[in-house]
Every structure is written in C-alpha cells, then in structure tokens.
Structure 1
C-alpha cells in the first residue's frame, strides 16, 4: 500500500489528488418513498444510461409491490437461483424433504450444497432442533458517575413488569423475555431480549425498546447525561462473543451420522482423513481468533437469505457458530450449532413476489413457519460443512472450483 502512494517526489501530486474539492455540487437525490412506474421512468429519463436491464417491463408493472421495502427505487437486479435438494430434515418444527432455494453468482456453490444435501438425505436426514429464540436490543445510558448508574439499574430492576407492558404495547407479536443490565462504570447497557413470533424482528424490537426506555426515564430519579437506543452491545449485524454464547435470534443445532461406506462412495474420502482435517481446522480457527469454529456458514446463509427475503446484512452475525465432527461406531457424526439465526417467515422482504415464491417452494411461507425455516437453514449449513470439509480432506477443493467455476467460463 505504501508503495502505491508513491515516494517523496510524488507527495505533492498525491496530496492534491486526495484533497477536498470545492466544485459545484451535483443535483441531490430527493428521497422518494414511492415505488411505481412513473417515479422509476422519471428517474431514468434524467440519465443517459440504458434502464432496460434494471427497469425492465416486468419490474415496472409490479413496482408498487416494493414500496414498503425500499426508497428511491430505480428497478430490480436479478440473481440466478439454484435449487438444492431433496434435503431431508427431521426437526422439531421442520419435517420432510425440502427443496431449498439459493440465490448466488458463485459457481460451484449450489453443486457443493447439493452434494452435502444428498449425503444427509441418504443418511436418513438431519436431526434439527430450535434451542432458543430471542432477539436483542441494547440501549445505553451515560450517567455522571457510577453511583447514578447503580441507582438507575436498581430502579429498572424494580419496574420490570411496567417496562414489559410499555414494550409489548407496541407490538402484537413481540414479547419481552428479560432485561439484563451491564455496567461499565458510569455507562449502563440494558440487554433487552425479545421473542418475535414469526418475524426476524429487528424493527419490532427497536420500536418496543424505545417505548421501554421512555417509560423508564419518565419516572427514574436519576437523569442520564445522554442515552442511545442501541449502544453497539447487542451484536446487531456483527459477529460477537455475546451472540455466540447467549444467542441473538434463533439458536438451532443440526446433526447427522453418515455411514462410513457412504462417505467413501459419495465423498471419496475416509473418516480418518476427515478427522485429520477437522483437527487442523479447529487449530486454525483457534490460532486466527475466529468467533466460533466453522467452515463457511456465510455461503449458505447469504444465498438463502437473499432468495427468501431475509435481511442479508444479518449474515454478519448469523454466520457464527460451531461445527463438530467425531467418529461414532461405523459412521461420522457431524453437527452445526448456530446461535444467531435472524430469519423470519413473515415481514421484511418475505412478502416480495420472488422471495414469497422461494418460501412457498419449501412450504414455509407465512405465519407459523419461522421455527421450521430456521431448522432448514441450519440443515443447509450442515450440508455445506459436509461437502466443503470432505473436498478439503480429499484434496478435491481446487479441482472442483476449477471445473465448475473457472473451467466453464
């Protein structure tokens, strides 16, 4: 990087290039909350770019369906969607053989997950269980000193029921499960944990927590110097140890025991070689400071989230967890545990046309399906761990990417 900045002789030129400019400002985009043909066509008429691929006729005809999900809408961007399956899931909530949609531009990805899904299904299916459910928001309060901070925490603890009533008055589906204070001298974080029904619930818990905080501050004997609805403690859209340990969203574990003969026939590797790789991978995760230890949950979740209308930015926190592998009898036990799956079967982008169709493909659209959706998502991650770890253990990883990605371009 330093070499690219140039030596001393080029310092003045670099400084001029990087300096703030006082040129006349370009026209500012006005935030447009409408999503309709007229607004989109007007936007493109002011520009020389060809709108055909983004503002195509189908998009213009259905633009009003997107109004609740975006501002300044200028069209849609299409991604290829691949199908993985059948993926057999034996869950507390998800039962059956699922066809799972994945939206991605990464060649070889769907093929890899399809291989893992096939192995799981031939092994009798993934055992999947929703273990916990709780979305967190963590408002922060700054006081004059630690004494005031302690008074505030004690006051809040005595009024839990009143605060719960204030929070739950803002939502039909959200329930406040707990308020957990964390004090750092004169700063207090209140870790507010909610269940959110069938929605992922990010907006739901924000609105509920705002009401909770205002109800608390109306009667509290100490007034904070300032307060913030989120103190960057909850792990929202970030990998965190809090999320890994206590969970944020839906915590799910999925496992399978793969017969040794099936591993050798379908994955072209031995159990011993898989375990050799597992030991190295665990060491690599520990030495590099990973939060959790897993192969590539993000690949599954990004493609699954985009296809089904989830908040794709939540992959940053959802793709943490632990993959385990050990010999059990004449088979290989593999499991994944994901403590932060932010998924919902209602709300957000789940009602958009393509995303709704993707959920319907699995039979998991609408109310009452979020828990099953989370178990399928975890089982999909398990399929990906099986396939990638087998490829790395067998020495097939590079060859597969060359033949399925670069080799066909």
Structure 2
C-alpha cells in the first residue's frame, strides 16, 4: 500500500510504522530515502541539505549495500599519477588513480612518488597469493576429540571441498589450514579462491554448508561460523604470515640522482629512516604494520572505488624495505593482506564504477590489475613520505598543504 510522504511521517510519529519499514509504503527506494531523511530532519532539528544531494540510484543500493538510507556523504576525490607498472606478464600499465580523502598533502605526496617511479622506469609488482578465508570455532567433548576432528578434516578434505563448492560457481576451496586447537575448541581456517569478487559473502555461505556437513558426520557443536581465526577486519600476525585477499610485493630501484633531485635527500638517509622508523620503531611498539602509512593510500583508493573500508585495517599491515644498492635506492613494499574486488559489493555504485573505469579495472578479469595498481600507489606514497622524513620536509608539507 503506497502512502504519501506526510501520511508515512505521521505513522512514523505515532509508531504505526518503524523507520526500517518505510520501503513497504513508499513508491520506491528513492522516495523512501527522501522520506526517511525528512523524518530525521524533523526529529533532530537539523537540515540535511548536503546529505540529501546525490546522483546514485538508491534502488539497488538499498537492496545490496545499506539499510535505513537517508542519502550519501561526499568525500573529495582527486587523481594521482600516472603511475607506471611492469607486471609479471611483461605488460606495462600506465594509469591515473582516483583517491578519495580529506587529508591535505596526501595526493601531492603520492603524486610525487608516482613521478619518482616514472623517472625510474616504472615499478614492478608481483601477486603472490589470492585467497579469502573463513574460520568457524567448533566445540568438541575433550582434547582427544579435538585432535580426532582435526585429523578427520584433513582426511575428508575432498568431501568437504565438494560440499562447500556446491554453493558457488566461482569459489574454490584450496585448503583447510591451519587448524588450531585450544583446549577442546577447534578453529579450522577455510581458504578459498574467489575470482574477481572480494568473496566474503561467498566464503561465508560455502563454509556454512561445509560445517553443516561436518556436524552431521561428527559429534561436535559449532559455536560460531566465524571464530576470529579468519582473521577478518582486524590486524593479525596470521594474516601477515599466511596472507588474505591479495598478497602483493611492489618494488622500484631509484637512481641516486633522482633521489637527490626529486626527493631532495639521499639513498643512505632513506635507508636509515626506514630502518629506524618502519622496522625498529614498529617492532618496539608491537605493531603489525612495519611501514609509514600504507593505510592512507589503501583507504583513499578503497573509498573512491567502492571497496569495503573496514578492510583498510588489513591493508595497513605489511613491510617496507629500503636498501642502498651500488649508490642507488632499492625500495619495496609487501602487502600480505589486501582484500579487493572488481565485481560485487560497493563496486556497483555509480561513483565507484566511474573511478574504476578511469583505470579500466571494472568487471570480470580485472582484479589482478586493480590489485597491482593499489600496490603501486602504496609504493608511491610510502616512498614519498619516507623521503620527506629523510629530507626533513614532512612538517613543511603539511603546513603548506594540509592546514
């Protein structure tokens, strides 16, 4: 039954309709968004003029991306680059990269890093792994049963794999490893390939089907589908070692004269800053991020391209290395845990589609290219910041651009 705006707001005020039920009475999701926003304006006494201005269609957005929507936010989007990437397939990628942020000086810094990479003949990127994980927690009767369950999973992997993969056309169960035991609790880590999708929903559904099968075959109790051994959206030594999402390494060798002319410092100074700050400083603080600011670049690209921003906490872990090689600077970043997608989730949003089209990474078959571009931008931003620290320019840049 369709009602007009005033009728719906009246019923919201009286409690006859709950705020999450507006779609049942509005003509469509776009009208429901407007009504909900007007109701919140009335309740809060706040005019939502800018939140209410947007161009995306809320129809699919309300079905797939958000609930109780009232509009959108706007984050400034800029471009860095072009960045030049040499792939493992001997292909050359040259592209501008959209980045959304409110931090002044970030894009200027990344842009400088891209300039250094171009002048050095481009960077090289290798994709080491592609996997998404889900790890339930299972309760057994005692430690002997826990050990037996671990062995049962190992010997019945093919059956579990068949059951899990029956739920998806694209996901492939690679392994169930590691399998951790704590007392009588068992944590099997299901590891999948997920194609161009980031795959969290895919592996969740597949793992649920697999543990249903395991419960039928064993005297166990599944406490939770996720036992935090996945590890999803949290910094983790396990993800640092085993990898999650895309695991990548990007590197560039910068000639000494380019370090001096563009970064205004020396290879020796950059190596010293990286050692003292990124390696020793991170170690003494107990950090999982042995880097200067991976999260800055990952977050900015994620926001522009419709990736899950909560996965920035995973994308922020990793290691930066720097070496003086015959007077030149060798510089690399390792991203062990970068969950990215070119289909599904927020990638379907109109603004995300446009951002990804700038790089020609939207759709099937493009996820490796997209991951490589993200890695190159992290490399560029990291190189520029460590260079600025080595030259003593960080505070000046933020004073001029970030205030």
TM-score, length of structure 2 as denominator length: 0.90
Give the Cα separation in 1 of the matches to 2:83 and 2:106: 16
| Residue 20 (structure 2) aligned to one of 27, 30, 38 | 30
- Contact 1:33/1:71 (<8 A) preserved: no
**Deviation of 1:227 (Å):** 2.1
5 Å matches for 1:12-51?
29-30=19-20, 36-46=29-39, 47-48=41-42, 49-51=46-48
**In structure 2, what is the equivalent of residue 188 of structure 1?**
186
Say whether the 8 Å CA contact 1:33–1:72 is kept in structure 2.
Answer: no
Q: Distance in 1 between matches of 2:256 and 2:117?
A: 13
User: 17, 33, 53: which one pairs with 2:50?
Assistant: 53
1:291 to 282, 288, 293: 288
Aligned equivalent of 2:260: 264
Aligned length: 377
1:84-114: per-residue Cα shift (whole Å, max 9, x none)?
0110011136732111000001111110100
CA–CA separation in structure 1 for the residues paired with 2:116 and 2:22: 48
* Distance 1:234-1:128 versus aligned 2 partners, 3 A rule: same
Between the aligned partners of 1:152 and 1:332, the Cα distance in structure 2 is 51
Shift of 1:369: 0.6
Bigger mean CA deviation after superposition, 249-258 or 283-292: 283-292
Distance, in Å, in 1 between the alignment partners of 2:124 and 2:21 is 47
Q: Does 1:178 align with 2:153?
A: no
Partner residue, 2:312: 315
1:241-299, CA deviations, whole angstroms, 9 ceiling, x for partnerless residues? Answer: 00000101110000000000001111111112112212211211111111141110000
* SS of equivalent residue, structure 1 residue 124: coil
In the TM superposition, residue 116 of structure 1 has moved relative to its aligned partner by 0.4
Hey, what's the Cα distance between the residues in 2 that align with 1:298 and 1:292? 9
Matches within 5 A, 1:98-247: 98-180=95-177, 181-220=179-218, 222-224=219-221, 226-247=222-243
**2-side partners of 1:353 and 1:272: how far apart?**
46
Query: Equivalents in 2 of 1:33, 1:321: separation in Å?
Result: 43
Contact 2:138-2:220 within 8 A present in 1 as well: no
- Contact 1:89 1:126 (C-alpha < 8 Å) held by counterparts: yes
Partner SS state of residue 349, structure 1:
helix
In 2, Cα distance between the equivalents of 1:109 and 1:81? 12
Change (3 A) 1:102 1:32: farther
Shift in CA distance, 171/31, structure 1 to aligned 2, threshold 3 Å = farther
What per-residue deviation string (whole Å, max 9, x for no partner) do you get for residues 152-185 of structure 1?
2222222211110111111111100001221112
CA distance in 2, matches of 1:92, 1:33: 49
How far is the alpha carbon of 1:56 from its aligned partner? 2.0
- Give SS of 1:206's match: helix
Distance 2:264 2:358 in 1: 31
Q: Is the 8 A contact 1:116 1:386 kept in 2?
A: yes
Select the residue among 60, 71, 81 that pairs with 1:75.
71
**Change over 3 Å in CA distance of 1:33–1:231 after alignment to 2:** farther
Q: CA deviation at 1:397?
A: 0.3
Structure 2, unaligned runs of 5 or more: 1-14
Name the CA distance, whole Å, in 1 between partners of 2:55 and 2:313: 32
Corresponding residue of 2:3? none
Partner of 1:329: 326
Name the TM-score, length of structure 1 as normaliser: 0.89
- RMSD of aligned C-alpha atoms? 1.7
The gaps in structure 1 that reach 5 residues or longer are 1-24
How far apart, in 2, do the equivalents of 1:110 and 1:324 lie? 22
Compute the displacement of 1:57 (Å).
Answer: 6.0
Shift of 1:149: 1.1
Rounded to whole Å, the distance in 2 between the matches of 1:388 and 1:45 is 44
Corresponding residue number in structure 2 for 1:63: 58
CA contact (8 A) 1:295 1:389 kept: yes
SS in 2 for 1:30: helix
Supply the distance in 1 between the matched residues of 2:171 and 2:92 (Cα, whole angstroms). Answer: 26
